């Protein structure tokens, strides 16, 4: 897609200036890991068992490792390489844990890591139709990110949203190493949280419909424990939904009671939220459709505060 600069009433084309060196893109990404993805940078050029990982990162929210690979050519297989990297990690959990603790100066234990939410991110100037189609396996924990640079100073990082199909990795007749990945790593979907039927399912569907009407850039992001809603390509969670028996718990991120107008005093502050989430979090519970009007009123205020909080 061409990019233009407005001068008065005229448009002038800004020429694309692609990264010539993979290392240049890697250095830029690693220097801005928190801004781009919200991850901690762990290691640069991490090597184990004759496989070299370009960048090793850690997702503090999911408590899982993220392997990032930078590609210039388009001849690689996102399935084969993605599974190879994940297999390497699952077979060397202690090594990855030690690497994190040494580089980040922390003391996480093996059980502190959620290995099931591990994933691989491929970053490239472009991906072939075949690569995009291959990433559509519903249980393949791989993301494709396309990067474009214009005029040397404008950079666009865009995740390619490939539509997941019903096909699974098991249909590929995986090797023993691959079978381990399939068993231990999972790509979570809304179906893992939403009941198949009943009042709670109907309550969530109505809530989701109202949330999406607040802003057309909102979209759900699914993790092991909850469904969050994010804005555009921003990695930050604005609010999340946790399913309880016969009710929904709505968590508002970077929000304390008093930050927004809550005349009915329904918000409850999570005292350990800074420790758990590295930010303030408050929540309220919704048990029926009648309570959605007030809940959405609070969610809208949280969304309106979001642009001012993106640098927090």
pLDDT digits (tens, 9 = 90+) for 295-306: 999 999 999 998
* Residues in contact with 209: Cβ distance below 8 Å, sequence separation at least 6, in sequence order: none
Q: 247: which 2 tokens?
A: 């009710």
Task: Name the segment(s) of the chain with CATH classification 3.40.1350.10.
Answer: 3-184
Task: Name the segment(s) of the chain with CATH classification 3.90.1150.
Answer: 190-309
Which pLDDT does position 238 carry in this prediction? 95
Spatial strand order of the sheet with 154-159 comes to 40-48, 51-59, 64-71, 119-124, 142-150, 154-159
Q: Which residue has the higher pLDDT, 161 or 91?
A: 91
Q: Are 19 and 125 in contact (CB under 8 A)?
A: yes
Q: Kindly tell me if the per-residue pLDDT of 168 is higher than 90.
A: no
Q: Are 71 and 22 in contact (CB under 8 A)?
A: yes
Which pLDDT does position 275 carry in this prediction? 80
Q: Kindly tell me if the per-residue pLDDT of 231 is higher than 70.
A: yes
Q: Kindly tell me if the per-residue pLDDT of 309 is higher than 70.
A: no
Contacts 24+ apart (CB under 8 A), 123-130: 123/25, 123/29, 123/68, 123/69, 123/70, 123/71, 123/147, 123/157, 124/70, 124/71, 124/72, 124/74, 125/18, 125/19, 125/72, 126/74, 127/74, 127/78, 127/160, 128/74
Q: Kindly tell me if the per-residue pLDDT of 311 is higher than 60.
A: no
Mean pLDDT of 241-260: 95
Mean pLDDT of 245-256: 95
Mean pLDDT of 213-226: 93
Which pLDDT does position 247 carry in this prediction? 96
- How high does pLDDT run on average in the chain? 90
* Residues in contact with 35: Cβ distance below 8 Å, sequence separation at least 6, in sequence order: none
Which pLDDT does position 296 carry in this prediction? 97
Q: Class assignment of domain 190-309? A: alpha beta
Q: Are 103 and 81 in contact (CB under 8 A)?
A: no
User: What's the CATH code, domain 3-184?
Assistant: 3.40.1350.10
d(CA 216, CA 233): 12
Q: Kindly tell me if the per-residue pLDDT of 111 is higher than 50.
A: yes
Which pLDDT does position 208 carry in this prediction? 97
pTM: predicted TM-score of the whole model, two decimal places: 0.84
d(CA 240, CA 258): 19
Which pLDDT does position 174 carry in this prediction? 64
- Dihedral of CA atoms 102, 104, 105, 106 in degrees, nearest 10, equals -100
Q: Give the helix/strand (H/E) hosting 104.
A: helix 93-104
Q: Kindly tell me if the per-residue pLDDT of 80 is higher than 80.
A: yes
Parallel/antiparallel/unpaired status of strands 64-71 and 119-124: parallel
Mean pLDDT of 234-258: 94
Q: Which residue has the higher pLDDT, 85 or 167?
A: 85
Which pLDDT does position 303 carry in this prediction? 95
Band (pLDDT 50/70/90 cuts) for residue 307 is: confident
d(CA 81, CA 141): 12
Percentage of the residues of the chain whose pLDDT score is greater than 90 = 62
Q: Kindly tell me if the per-residue pLDDT of 312 is higher than 60.
A: no
Q: 223: which 2 tokens?
A: 């993790």
Which pLDDT does position 278 carry in this prediction? 80
Which pLDDT does position 205 carry in this prediction? 97
d(CA 118, CA 291): 36
Band (pLDDT 50/70/90 cuts) for residue 235 is: confident
Q: Give the helix/strand (H/E) hosting 294.
A: helix 292-309
Q: Is 3 strand, coil or helix? A: strand
């Amino acid at each position: 897609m061409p990019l233009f600069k407005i001068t008065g009433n005229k448009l002038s084309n800004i020429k694309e200036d692609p990264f010539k060196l993979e290392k240049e893109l890697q250095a830029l990404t690693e220097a801005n890991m928190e801004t781009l993805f919200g991850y901690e940078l762990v290691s640069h050029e991490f090597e184990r068992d004759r496989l070299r990982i370009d960048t090793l990162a850690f997702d503090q929210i999911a408590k899982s490792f993220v392997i990032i690979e930078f590609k210039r050519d388009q001849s690689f297989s996102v399935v084969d390489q993605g599974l190879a990297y994940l297999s390497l990690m699952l077979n060397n959990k202690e090594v990855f844990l030690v690497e994190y603790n040494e580089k980040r100066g922390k003391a996480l234990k093996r059980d502190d890591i959620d290995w099931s939410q591990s994933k691989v991110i491929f970053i490239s100037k472009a991906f072939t139709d075949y690569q995009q189609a291959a990433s559509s396996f519903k249980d393949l924990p791989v993301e494709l990110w396309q990067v474009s640079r214009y005029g040397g100073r404008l950079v666009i990082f865009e995740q390619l949203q490939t539509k997941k199909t019903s096909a699974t990795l098991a249909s590929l007749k995986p090797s023993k190493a691959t079978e381990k990945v399939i068993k231990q790593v999972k790509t979570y979907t809304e179906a893992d949280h939403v009941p198949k039927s009943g009042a709670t399912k109907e309550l969530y569907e109505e809530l989701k419909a109202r949330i999406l009407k607040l802003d057309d850039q909102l979209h759900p992001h699914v993790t092991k424990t909850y469904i969050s809603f994010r804005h555009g390509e921003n990695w930050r969670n604005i609010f999340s939904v946790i399913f309880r028996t016969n009710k929904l718990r709505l968590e508002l991120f970077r929000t304390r009671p008093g930050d927004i107008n809550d005349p009915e005093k329904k918000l409850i502050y999570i005292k350990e939220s800074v420790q758990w989430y590295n930010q303030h979090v408050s929540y309220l519970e919704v048990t029926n459709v009648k309570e959605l009007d007030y809940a959405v009123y609070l969610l809208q205020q949280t969304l309106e505060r979001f642009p001012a909080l993106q640098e927090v």
